[in-house]
Amino acid sequence: MKNKRIVITGSPGAGKTSIIKGLEDKGYSVFEEYSRTLIDEGKATGKANFFLSNPEEFSELLFSRKESTV
């Protein structure tokens, strides 16, 4: 059987991370969205709402990461 990849999308707060965590708990291989990594790093440095408090910096970091993985 061929492996399938599924993309989970939605607006902030829609539950994407919860669904991904639930799939991971059931043994599925998952990849966290890079935005989540940036949000968590922001929280660790005192930026509670990084994407809201500094959307320009957040977007620049997001795009620089995406460009390096393409």
Q: What is the pLDDT of residue 19?
A: 92
* Mean pLDDT computed over 42-67: 83
| Domain match, 11 and 41 both | no
Q: What is the pLDDT of residue 35?
A: 80
| Domain match, 70 and 42 both | yes
Who has greater pLDDT, 67 or 18? 18
Structural domain span for residue 43: 33-70
Q: What is the pLDDT of residue 55?
A: 87
Q: How distant, in Å, are the alpha carbons of 6, 34, 51, 61 from that of 56? A: 29, 16, 8, 9
| Domain match, 26 and 53 both | no
| Domain match, 54 and 27 both | no
Number of domains in the chain: 2
| Domain match, 49 and 65 both | yes
Cβ(4)–Cβ(31) below 8 Å:
no
Tens digits of residue pLDDT in 43-52 = 898 888 888 8
Tens digits of residue pLDDT in 2-36 = 788 888 888 878 898 899 999 999 999 987 677 87
